[in-house]
Amino acid sequence: MRQVFSILVNNHAGVLSHVSGLFARRGYNIESIAAGPTEDKEATRIVIVAFGEKTTLEQIARQLRKLYDVREVQQLAYNESVTRELVLATVWADVTKRTEVLQIANAFGANIVNISDETVTLEASGNDHKTRILIKALERYGIANMARTGMIALPFEGMTEDWEPLA
Amino acid sequence: MELTGSQIVIEELKANGVEIAFGIPGGAIMPFYDEILKSGFPHILARHEQGATHMADGYARVTGKPAAVVTTSGPGATNIVTGLCNARMDSVPIIAITGQVATPMIGTDAFQEADTYGCTIPVTKHNWLVKDPRELQTAVREAVRVATSGRPGPVVIDFPKDIQTMTAEYIPHRTQETVPAGDIHNDAPELDMQAIDQLLEAIERAKRPIIIGGAGILKAGAAAELTEFARRTGIPVINTLLGLGGFPGTDPLSLGMPGMHGTAYANMALCECDLLINLGGRFDDRVTGKVSAFATKATIAHVDIDAAELGKRVHTHIPILGDVRDVLLILNTQAKERDISAWQDQIGEWKREHPLQYDRDGSIKPQHVIEQIQEVSGGNGIYVTGVGQHQMWSAQFLRFNEPNSWVTSGGLGTMGFGLPAAIGAKVGRPDKDVWLIDGDGSFSMTLVDLATAATYNIPVKVAILNNAYLGMVRQWQELFFEKRYSNVHYPENPDFARIAEGYHVRGFDVKDVDQVRSTLEQAAEIDGPVVMNFHVSKEENVWPMVPSGAGNSEMQLGPPVSEERT
Amino acid sequence: MTTKSKRPTPLKKKKISGAEIIYRALEQEGVEYIFGHPGAVLLGLLDLFLQRSKMKHILTRHEQCAAHMAEGYARASGGVGVCLVTSGPGATNLITGITDAYMDSIPIVCLTGQVGTSMIGNDAFQEADIVGMTHTVTKHNYLVKRTEDLAKTLKEAFHIARTGRPGPVLVDLPKDVMLGEASFDYSDEVDIRGYKPRTKGHTRQIQRVAEAIKESKQPVLYVGGGVIHSEAHKELLKLAETANIPVTWTLLGAGAFPSRHELSLGMLGMHGTAYANKAVDECDLLLAVGSRFDDRVTGKLSEFAQKAKIVHIDIDPTAIGKNVSVDIPVVGDARQVLLEVNKLVKKQKRSLWQKRIDRLKDDFPLSFDAPDGSPIKPQEAIVALSEEVGDKAIVTTEVGQHQMWAAQFYQVSFPRQFISSGGLGTMGFGFPAAIGAALARPDKLAIDIAGDGSFQMVLQELATAVQYQIPVKVFILNNYGLGMVRQWQDLFMDRRFSEVGMEVAPDYVKLADAYGAKGIHVSDRADLRPAIREMVETPGPVILDVVVDQDELVFPMVPAGGASKNMILQDQRKKKPLKGKLSALPDN
């Protein structure tokens, strides 16, 4: 199974080495990793999507908590958190295909950031589900180049147990 | 007050109870060494940095206090990786201070530059590269705290040369915490009383309970509490390799060591028990054998200070996060005496049927030398080993009466650990006789520190069980590769007694079994280091043995012992 | 026998064990020696070494030395050195040797056993994350997870180690991967995405180099280890002689150019010759070939070769422009580039520049005082050794004062004759390296010029030398302490000698004897040369312990971070005792 780890760490050099080194050393599988500043300028949030057995995921959380610079580890389940990823994709689309691609972009609320004779570059953000479907839809035309930020996540605040998330 | 970086480190080490350093100077650590000289901070000059780390390791294991290791940059730092890794695996606190090229030079492949910080991430509990002298005081204080709190472990402070001479404000006796703390600072997690109640109930129900006492007993200073608990409840105690000394080896409830070369009765008890209480052990693969065949009939309870150890390898029914001494204190007030005499009788029978034993054929048997060391020292010494067969025999045949009297490399299994660790142990406990039981292969790796023992006249008693083989590897080749001995033989082993003399250390060469006792007695009387080279029978094997990857029930007892048994 | 035409069966490759694959891959790579120390996870592989005799496994006493032996073998032979150790402590013990090879660009392949893949990350017995620890000190490293990947990985490992800028490659081998089975497919082609070292220099850049040489009045060639790695010494000699360019070298470049040649300037840098440093100061064109502008060479960067146009020929594009800005960069293999340059360069006389160089050599010679009745001077011991054995020997050194004196006073005349730990400066390197060198070049005499502090770090390998009867000679300049650190304390710390004394020194004669080797002790000048002869003539391993003047310092010296104008030419303590600090303690 997959799980999102939202890790709040002290913001100084070397933290990322400690975190990524732990995953490599223990043989844990990372699907994506994203890091960025938070509301506290002395802290950084690292979001890691990992997959493995349930016991392994639990072990990951415990090992992460042992790291000196890790202040807090949240294990987020999909239905209890909001997740977003930004995708930039350049798709093969000459004049004959361009309209189709633009329609897809429109349907997914993606922005067009560049158009050349042969390609269209678009920018989309969304949860894991949405980005996957979008990429699948674009693959038909051939993706010339793609960059993804990796997922970032925050827990839904004020949730009750019977609450149905929308995102 | 305004101090140099070097002064800050010395002051803060002292303020946090670090009393001694082991190391070797070099270009990038010179200002700090100058301060060591000026401040008179106690320092032992080693002959190889690896040795310095093992010295600090041995020192910490017998005193419970961390020592500093000081090295230069580059090769000095890379030379300590093995020692740090060893300490990390066995949860031993070490404060390593490594010189580094000056901050403007970092990353330029400067002379004697190595990426100490990156290299030591996997082998430390935490590490720091200090690039600002104002961060030094906090870094050193935090380093000592991280190394000694919770599950102890080694730390590194990478200390660039320019920072050593720059000045910054030093605040004496500052204790205020400024670093945002995560779990790493949680030395005494709140105990889960429900889980403890569950354990108490399990104890009440159990007919065949067993305790495994791991290294955590010694780290937590819980040997007395464990002894009380076992005696009160009558539950027999197995000690892991690193847990030996946590429970008196002479106690009738003691079953010795479990696992690959554990006693037959310990392994049988593990197979049959219905409640297994693991106190500060980590279910290492050398203990469990095949996990799916481990203690299959038992409810498993596990007490550990490290949350990540709970459920890591073995499924645990009653996990208890906490300091093992805290837990034992509660258990001792609440656990009741119970009658489990049927189980105790069963274990007694196993002990009678399958004692530790060996053949006596007139040659010097390694086990015999160990038994004699036990007798000559009265069991009150500190015993140190290298890694290999001699280590397993020592673990089997020595009987420890006190905690922290046993120093051995468990998790990493570092050959060459013995001599420097023994030196460190003696420095830490000058009141104790320190005996090193070593193999010829293991001793050969780090014998250069005989010069250190000679220089400071550190009276360690070294007994080499010399079989001219890397014996443990040879044993595997005998058993699993039809005696094809590839690259394990030292047909022209040096004359270790003469090597000792070359280092101005007394050396004895012992070939006759009748001289074993008298040599040991002589050695005990000598005020200074001694090396005894015992030519033991060459192809002796360690029994019992659970083949690697097999379950503990598949233990092999070895060939039957002829004639006189021990 | 009758021959029957049979339908050819499709070739189906037989599956063999992972250990067997490793063995065969090593065979295919032409490996002669493997240096190692066994352990539980390696047993299957070691068994093959016993059963077959093609490759020889040398059993060392400590894994660190296995790595240094592999380095010594590689440095002396030009081939790839191989070491094989067990998991956990075996692997971590290699790190110093690996880092040393990385800093000096030495091709070695380190095979480390690892616990089974299912145990990785569990803190299993003798488990260590060697791949994580060696990311920054290897050219590349691998953890092999499937037996099917073994052959390809090993092929790549050797390829990466020996091509481009050479370096160490580590392959971590889990136990189950060595026990598993796969077919053996060892293709000749290696295709690694993202790894295509460029060996041929850019034509236009080469033309510019030739033009610069033509225009220059006062050129200097500054050559490093790259010339030795690429076997460019003949092309270098041709260039120097054709265009009349004096040559100076780095510690690792020693041997690239004959030191007795009239164009030779010797070593430059911190303890280089004064004339080399002054020539670099004065030159108008500095041709750097396979060298990396190390801090021990340049001193203060802003004042290094200030007047010169700088040409930098290097196979590693990241080395170019790293420390100094370069006027004409050429990315390529030193030999190939020099071949092309030589095609364009014409005979040129530079009598004025040659005169100036001769003058500098006369004015600032390397020198030392050895008055009668004084203790043996370390420099004179090196001179004696050099004169007695000369080109018969390959010399290795440890690290410290003796290393610098050896670089200054030993007359080196062919590539791979002088083997030393440069970048990392690893004490304890020389002796095991000499063992590796002796095996690589049985036609030469391998001599480790050692300091007592360095040799004490690794002397247990005497047992290895004796066991295999490897005729290495250890020439100890014994000053009873850590001389180089002591020198800095002498010069920069008001003679506060902190933790550098090793007065309780071993009795090397007894030690040698205990190991079954020959030991000789000398403290008297008159005995020095006879002892050297005895050392050379005695078969097998020999230790010659030469007690030298403890107070002798290495000069000239450019204090770290200083410029060559700050060079201290000779021991000024003799003229007047130093008062206070000579200068502030240098940065590095």
Domain count, chain B: 3
Intervals of chain C under pLDDT 70 = 1-12, 573-588
Does some domain include residue B565? no
CA-atom Rg of chain B in angstroms: 24
Task: Give the residues across from C376 on adjacent strands.
Answer: C548
| Disruptive mutation site among A16, A23, A41, A62 for chain B (greatest number of B CBs within 10 Å) | A62
**Structural domain of residue B409, as residue ranges?**
366-543
Quick one: B170 and B202 in the same domain?
no
Q: What is the pLDDT of residue C570?
A: 77
B43-83 pLDDT, tens digit per residue, is 999 999 999 999 999 999 999 999 999 999 999 999 999 99
The C-alpha atoms of residue B234 and residue B29 are separated, in whole angstroms, by 55
Closest to B144 in 3D by CA, of B219, B35, B67, B78 = B67
Secondary element (H or E) of residue C538:
none
Nearest to C95 among B43, B119, B447 (CB): B119
The C-alpha atoms of residue B385 and residue B435 are separated, in whole angstroms, by 8
Q: How confident is the model at residue B566 (pLDDT cuts 50, 70, 90)?
A: very low
Q: Are B490 and B469 in contact (CB under 8 A)?
A: yes
Q: What long-range pairs does C27-33 form, CB within 8 A, spacing at least 24?
A: C27/C54, C27/C55, C28/C186, C29/C80, C29/C154, C29/C158, C30/C79, C31/C55, C31/C80, C31/C82, C32/C56, C32/C79, C32/C439, C33/C57, C33/C58, C33/C73, C33/C81, C33/C82, C33/C436, C33/C439, C33/C440
CA of A34: how far to CAs of A49, A64, A152, C473, in Å?
9, 16, 6, 57
Quick one: C145 and C289 in the same domain?
no
Closest to C466 in 3D by CA, of C427, C511, C507 = C511
Q: What is the pLDDT of residue A14?
A: 85
Q: What is the pLDDT of residue A158?
A: 66
Give B531 or C49, the one with higher predicted confidence. Answer: B531
Q: Domain A82-153 is in which class?
A: alpha beta
A10 touching chain B per CB within 8 A = yes
Quick one: C232 and C122 in the same domain?
no
Query: Which residue, chain included where needed, has tokens 């104790």?
Result: B432
Q: Is the peptide bond before B494 cis (omega within 30 degrees of 0)?
A: no
Q: Which one is catalytic: B111, B193, B353, B481? A: B111
Quick one: C412 and C348 in the same domain?
no
Joined tokens for residue C337:
């580039």
CATH code of the domain containing B309: 3.40.50.1220
Quick one: B449 and B507 in the same domain?
yes
Secondary element (H or E) of residue C6:
none
Neighbour-count burial for C30-68, b at 16+ CB within 10 Å, e otherwise: ebebbbbbbbbbbbbbbbbbeeeeebebbbbbbbbbbbb
Quick one: C90 and C175 in the same domain?
yes
A vs B, Cβ pairs < 8 A, gives: 54
Q: Are B21 and B427 in contact (CB under 8 A)?
A: no
Residue A159 has pLDDT above 60, yes or no: no
The C-alpha atoms of residue C215 and residue C236 are separated, in whole angstroms, by 19
Does some domain include residue C9? no
Does some domain include residue B186? no
The C-alpha atoms of residue A68 and residue C269 are separated, in whole angstroms, by 42
- What percent of chain B clears pLDDT 70, i.e. is strictly above it? 97
Residue B195 has pLDDT above 80, yes or no: yes
Residue of C nearest to A20 (CA): C132
The C-alpha atoms of residue C294 and residue C230 are separated, in whole angstroms, by 19
Query: Does residue C175 carry a catalytic annotation?
Result: yes
Quick one: B322 and B437 in the same domain?
no
The C-alpha atoms of residue A131 and residue C360 are separated, in whole angstroms, by 72
| Disruptive mutation site among A19, A28, A66 for chain B (greatest number of B CBs within 10 Å) | A66
The C-alpha atoms of residue C171 and residue C158 are separated, in whole angstroms, by 10
Residue of A nearest to C136 (CA): A17
Report the CATH architecture of A2-76: 2-Layer Sandwich (3.30)
The C-alpha atoms of residue C430 and residue C414 are separated, in whole angstroms, by 19
Joined tokens for residue B213:
């006492």
Does some domain include residue B43? yes
Query: Does residue B445 carry a catalytic annotation?
Result: no
CA angle C293, C299, C300 (to 5 degrees): 105
Domain count, chain C: 3
Q: Which residues lie below 8 Å from residue C189, measured CB to CB, with a gap of 6+?
A: none
Closest to C280 in 3D by CA, of C247, C253, C251 = C247
Quick one: B164 and B293 in the same domain?
no
Quick one: B294 and B380 in the same domain?
no
CATH code of the domain containing C150: 3.40.50.970
B463 touching chain C per CB within 8 A = no
Q: Are B329 and A84 in contact (CB under 8 A)?
A: no
| CB-based burial label for C355 (10 Å; 0-12, 13-18, 19+) | exposed
Residue B351 has pLDDT above 90, yes or no: yes
Q: How far is CA C383 from the centre of its chain?
A: 22
Quick one: B384 and B510 in the same domain?
yes
Residue B427 has pLDDT above 80, yes or no: yes
CATH code of the domain containing C269: 3.40.50.1220
Q: What is the pLDDT of residue C577?
A: 42
Residue A77 has pLDDT above 80, yes or no: no
Does some domain include residue C291? yes
| Dihedral Cα C103, C104, C110, C112, nearest 10 deg | -30
Q: What is the DSSP string of B373-415?
A: HHHHHTT-SEEEE-SSHHHHHHHHH----STT-EE---SS--T
Does some domain include residue C304? yes
Secondary element (H or E) of residue B99:
strand B94-100
Does some domain include residue B241? yes
Joined tokens for residue B117:
């910080």
The C-alpha atoms of residue B317 and residue B424 are separated, in whole angstroms, by 40
Of C150, C183, C216, the one marking the end of a domain is C183
Query: Which residue, chain included where needed, has tokens 């599988």?
Result: A29
Q: Are C246 and C220 in contact (CB under 8 A)?
A: yes
Neighbour-count burial for A108-136, b at 16+ CB within 10 Å, e otherwise: bebeeeeeeeebbbbebbbbbebbeebee
Please compute the mean of the pLDDT values over residues A96-105 and round it to a whole number. 92
Quick one: C384 and C349 in the same domain?
no
Q: Distance, in angstroms, between B45 CA and closest chain C CA? A: 6
**Counting every residue, how long is chain C?**
588
The C-alpha atoms of residue B52 and residue B55 are separated, in whole angstroms, by 5
Q: How far is CA C498 from the centre of its chain?
A: 29
Does some domain include residue B184? no
C120 touching chain A per CB within 8 A = yes
Does some domain include residue C568? no
Does some domain include residue B564? no
Quick one: C177 and C268 in the same domain?
no
Quick one: B29 and B159 in the same domain?
yes
CB hemisphere CA count around C238 (13 angstroms): 15
Quick one: B319 and B203 in the same domain?
yes
Of B324, B353, B382, the one marking the end of a domain is B353
The C-alpha atoms of residue B400 and residue B374 are separated, in whole angstroms, by 9
Neighbour-count burial for A55-83, b at 16+ CB within 10 Å, e otherwise: ebbbbbbbbbbbbbbbbebbbbebebbbb
B283 contact residues in C (CB cutoff 8 A): none
Task: Give me the residues of B, 108-147, that contact A with CB < 8 A.
Answer: 117-118, 121-122, 125-127, 129, 142, 146
Nearest to C506 among B89, B112, B451 (CB): B451
Quick one: B87 and B228 in the same domain?
no
Quick one: C277 and C335 in the same domain?
yes
Q: Are B442 and C39 in contact (CB under 8 A)?
A: no
Residue B188 has pLDDT above 80, yes or no: no
The C-alpha atoms of residue B24 and residue B47 are separated, in whole angstroms, by 7
Secondary element (H or E) of residue A4:
strand A2-10
Task: Give me the residues of B, 83-142, that contact C with CB < 8 A.
Answer: 85-86, 89, 101-102, 104-105, 108-115, 118-123
Quick one: C357 and C383 in the same domain?
no
Residue of C nearest to B288 (CA): C124
Does some domain include residue C578? no
Quick one: B383 and B488 in the same domain?
yes
Quick one: C403 and C524 in the same domain?
yes
Joined tokens for residue B519:
């040599």
Neighbours of C526 (CB within 10 A): 9
Query: Does residue B283 carry a catalytic annotation?
Result: no
Q: What is the pLDDT of residue B190?
A: 87
The C-alpha atoms of residue C540 and residue C566 are separated, in whole angstroms, by 46
Query: Does residue C119 carry a catalytic annotation?
Result: no
SS (H, E, C) C45-80: HHHHHHHCCCCEEEECCCHHHHHHHHHHHHHHHCCC
User: Euclidean distance between the first and final Cα of chain A, in Å?
Assistant: 20
Q: Are C565 and C278 in contact (CB under 8 A)?
A: no
Does some domain include residue B361? no
Quick one: C307 and C384 in the same domain?
no
Q: Distance, in angstroms, between C486 CA and closest chain B CA? A: 9
Does some domain include residue C577? no
Query: Does residue B112 carry a catalytic annotation?
Result: yes
B166 touching chain C per CB within 8 A = no
CATH code of the domain containing B153: 3.40.50.970
The C-alpha atoms of residue C561 and residue C179 are separated, in whole angstroms, by 53
Closest to C63 in 3D by CA, of C134, C128, C112, C132 = C112
| CB-based burial label for C231 (10 Å; 0-12, 13-18, 19+) | middle
Of C155, C183, C211, the one marking the end of a domain is C183
B45 touching chain A per CB within 8 A = no
**Structural domain of residue C270, as residue ranges?**
203-363
Q: What is the pLDDT of residue B180?
A: 53
The C-alpha atoms of residue A151 and residue A130 are separated, in whole angstroms, by 12
Quick one: B197 and B107 in the same domain?
no
Inter-chain touch A27–C121, beta carbons under 8 Å? yes
Quick one: B198 and B121 in the same domain?
no
Nearest to A21 among B122, B311, B312 (CB): B122
Q: Are B158 and B127 in contact (CB under 8 A)?
A: yes
Inter-chain touch C132–A28, beta carbons under 8 Å? no
Joined tokens for residue B152:
């102890």
